[in-house]
A and B are shown apart, each in its own frame.
Chain A
Amino acid sequence: MNLAWRDVRHNLFRFLLTCLGLGLLMTVVLAMMGIYNGLVSDALNIVKAPQADIWVVEADTQGPFAEASKIPNDTRDAVARLHGVAQAGSITYQTVEAPFEGATLRLYVIGYERGRLGGPQTIVAGRGLEASHFELVADAKSGLTPGDTITLGRNQFQVVGLVRDTMNSGGDPAIFITLADAQVLQTQLAPPAARVQVARGAAATGGATVAAVIARLDPNVDAQSVAQTVRQWKHLSALTQAEQEEILIKSVVDKARKQIGLFLGILLTVSAVVIALIIYTMTMEKLKQIATLKLIGAPDRTIIALIVQQSVALGVVGLSLGLILILTVKDYFPRRVLLEPVNALALTGIILVVCVLASGLGVRAALKVDPATALGG
């Protein structure tokens, strides 16, 4: 006879209400985990998307994701001629704010050369860029749809296709435009400002720089040796794909990871305290029943099982409700919430340990109950 289940069934409404409260707490814990995963995944997606082996950037810089990098436009030709390089492409990154349907969209603009590395990998709706100018492919999270028109700088761009899960580490959805358009967008001034520059005798820059040149190597070519060759050109630096990812994680994502990790720790501590308090209160309400159980000869293990099983049930049902809730609402979060099965498994393990530890307070109170308490009024 499972006493824990019978007691839960007897007070089912209250138990479910408690589970719901705990479930909401678990939803927040899972959301934090998902947001962290999303943050890392988004940041890495941008780096992984071009499927490059080498990133050639400005000398003494950490690449376009950590700090500003400007290299001459023709660097791509020099890199493409290196031994072992199969393909190379120039790429630019910048963040813009553009008005769209009465709101302002913050977008991460990726400029690339059509037919070369750096473009969108998988188009989920519409098509890729076909024209040389004024077309864009956007991440679905931007809210743009194929056929929409949006003003970037002084030009109108038409949305021709959509991609998914392509954002920068700040959560801004990416758009892909041609390198030429991106360079114009970077350098083009508003007409009055342009007139002032002409009056001052400043030469138009003409968009002659890019943020990086990315290269894909032939099979069996060592990326480090190619990178080393590039580094011999004093005005350039080169990073392998692994180095680029590590820099991104360490310099860009690390602070956010620590922040979220700390918040997660606090949430788990709060959950443990809440579970402990609930179980302790549930046990205190049952002291007379526990005394009766002891008096009629129930062993300590029966009483411990009653408390621990209820605690674990509370945790498991709460966690399940939390999982259902977060999976239902995750797409409404402004940032990507990415939940992996390993997160659910890890949290299940943590919650089980927390539940068993939290029930210790209740178990201690129960074991101290004198069976004589059952006698008398």
Chain B
Amino acid sequence: MLDDSRRVIVDIKGVAKHYGIGETRVDALRNLDLTVHAGEVVALLGPSGSGKTTLLNIIGCIIDPSEGQVNLDGELVYDNLWLRGDLRRLRLDKIGFIFQAHNLLPFLNATDNVALVLQLAGKSRAQAQARAQELLDYLEVGHRARAMPALLSGGEAQRVAIARALANSPRIILADEPTAALDSKRAGIVMDLLRKLAAEQDACIIAVTHDEKILDRFDRLFHLRDGRLEDDKGEGK
């Protein structure tokens, strides 16, 4: 059972996002609150156009909210002092992304795909390679370290993508349909792995998913409807 005394990693208060003005104004998110703790694995559910991707983009420091506060691992982002480079650095240091289609760079092998993130963060090549190999071994794809993405199976590629997301030991892992390209057995394995990682690394995982087979693997489910958020008990904003 979830322990609410654990550290808050994502704390969103009164966040709204509007596009357009006047009659063409679209409210993608309305006065939305969300708190996610370390070790938690939560799902964002909702129909297409409900605002899931917008929320993921705001937490991922990709787009700024029109209103409200976003606190990520103790840092209040999107106030006037944050520059684009600062947000990039925050993404690099504190946020890991897992994509629906693994999005590995096709011209780098598995190790280099993982090591790239570490080198961008300032690690030496040797350090980055060692840490990448360690992560790939941990995710049981170490034997495919030299393989190019095109030669990896769907499951292997997704594990390498997870290794890349974990490379800088992020506090927040954002996953966009992480199991969409996998069969139910592999989807279950990936979810178990994410849960284990969240617990071990004291990170939180926020996933957008439509995959009903894996919903029981999440600590909490949030439903987005017309830009408003409800938790699995139908509460919240």
A interface with B by C-beta (< 8 Å): 1, 3, 6-7, 9-11, 288-289, 292-299, 302, 370-372, 374-377
Contact A297/B101 with A7-B107, A375-B176 known, Cβ cut-off 8 Å? no
Q: Given the complex, which residues of B lie within 8 Å of A293, measured CB to CB?
A: 105
Contact A1/B97 with A293-B105, A372-B57 known, Cβ cut-off 8 Å? no
Q: Given the complex, which residues of B lie within 8 Å of A298, measured CB to CB?
A: 116, 120
Distance in angstroms between the alpha carbons of A11 and B106 in the assembled complex: 10
Q: Is B97 touching A374 in the complex (CB atoms < 8 A)?
A: yes
Distance in Å from the Cβ of B116 to the closest Cβ of chain A? 6
Contact A297/B88 with A1-B116, A375-B99 known, Cβ cut-off 8 Å? yes
Partner of B62, one of A3, A371, A377: A371
Q: Is A299 touching B88 in the complex (CB atoms < 8 A)?
A: yes
Interface residue B89 (Cβ < 8 Å from any Cβ of A): yes
Q: Is B56 touching A9 in the complex (CB atoms < 8 A)?
A: no
Q: Is B57 touching A1 in the complex (CB atoms < 8 A)?
A: no
Distance in angstroms between the alpha carbons of A371 and B53 in the assembled complex: 12
Distance in angstroms between the alpha carbons of A289 and B104 in the assembled complex: 8
Shortest Cβ distance from A10 into B: residue = B107
Q: Given the complex, which residues of A lie within 8 Å of B88, measured CB to CB?
A: 294, 297, 299
Q: Is B108 touching A6 in the complex (CB atoms < 8 A)?
A: yes
Q: Given the complex, which residues of B lie within 8 Å of A375, measured CB to CB?
A: 53, 56-57, 60, 62, 97, 99-100, 176
Partner of B91, one of A10, A295, A376: A295
- Residue total for B at the interface (Cβ-Cβ under 8 A): 34
Distance in Å from the Cβ of A373 to the closest Cβ of chain B? 10
Q: Given the complex, which residues of A lie within 8 Å of B121, measured CB to CB?
A: 297
Query: What are 11 A-B pairs at a CB distance below 8 A?
Result: A3-B105, A6-B108, A10-B107, A289-B106, A295-B91, A297-B92, A297-B120, A299-B85, A299-B120, A372-B57, A374-B97
Distance in angstroms between the alpha carbons of A208 and B89 in the assembled complex: 91
Q: Is A288 touching B103 in the complex (CB atoms < 8 A)?
A: yes
Distance in angstroms between the alpha carbons of A293 and B107 in the assembled complex: 13
Distance in Å from the Cβ of B93 to the closest Cβ of chain A? 8
Distance in angstroms between the alpha carbons of A299 and B90 in the assembled complex: 12
Interface contact tally, CB-CB below 8 A? 78
Distance in angstroms between the alpha carbons of A376 and B106 in the assembled complex: 18
Contact A296/B63 with A6-B107, A302-B120 known, Cβ cut-off 8 Å? no
Q: Is A376 touching B53 in the complex (CB atoms < 8 A)?
A: yes
Known: A297-B117, A374-B99. 9 other contacts (CB 8 A): A1-B108, A1-B115, A6-B107, A289-B103, A296-B92, A296-B120, A297-B92, A302-B120, A377-B101
Distance in angstroms between the alpha carbons of A293 and B116 in the assembled complex: 9
Q: Which of B94-138 contact A (CB under 8 A)?
A: 97, 99-101, 103, 105-108, 112, 115-117, 119-121, 125
Q: Is the interface of A mostly helix, strand, loop or mixed?
A: helix
Interface residue B164 (Cβ < 8 Å from any Cβ of A): yes
Q: Given the complex, which residues of B lie within 8 Å of A377, measured CB to CB?
A: 100-101, 177, 180
Distance in Å from the Cβ of B176 to the closest Cβ of chain A? 5
Q: Given the complex, which residues of B lie within 8 Å of A302, measured CB to CB?
A: 120
Distance in angstroms between the alpha carbons of A376 and B57 in the assembled complex: 11
Q: Given the complex, which residues of A lie within 8 Å of B177, measured CB to CB?
A: 377
Q: Given the complex, which residues of B lie within 8 Å of A295, measured CB to CB?
A: 60, 62, 91, 97
Partner of B164, one of A10, A296, A370, A372: A296
Distance in Å from the Cβ of A2 to the closest Cβ of chain B? 11
Q: Is B112 touching A1 in the complex (CB atoms < 8 A)?
A: yes
Contact A10/B53 with A1-B116, A297-B91 known, Cβ cut-off 8 Å? no
Distance in Å from the Cβ of B46 to the closest Cβ of chain A? 14
Distance in Å from the Cβ of A6 to the closest Cβ of chain B? 5
Shortest Cβ distance from A291 into B: residue = B103
Q: Given the complex, which residues of A lie within 8 Å of B56, measured CB to CB?
A: 375
Q: Is B176 touching A376 in the complex (CB atoms < 8 A)?
A: yes
Distance in Å from the Cβ of A106 to the closest Cβ of chain B? 56
Distance in Å from the Cβ of B166 to the closest Cβ of chain A? 12
Q: Given the complex, which residues of B lie within 8 Å of A376, measured CB to CB?
A: 53, 100, 176
Q: Given the complex, which residues of B lie within 8 Å of A371, measured CB to CB?
A: 62
Q: Is B91 touching A296 in the complex (CB atoms < 8 A)?
A: yes
Q: Given the complex, which residues of B lie within 8 Å of A370, measured CB to CB?
A: 62
Q: Is B119 touching A1 in the complex (CB atoms < 8 A)?
A: yes
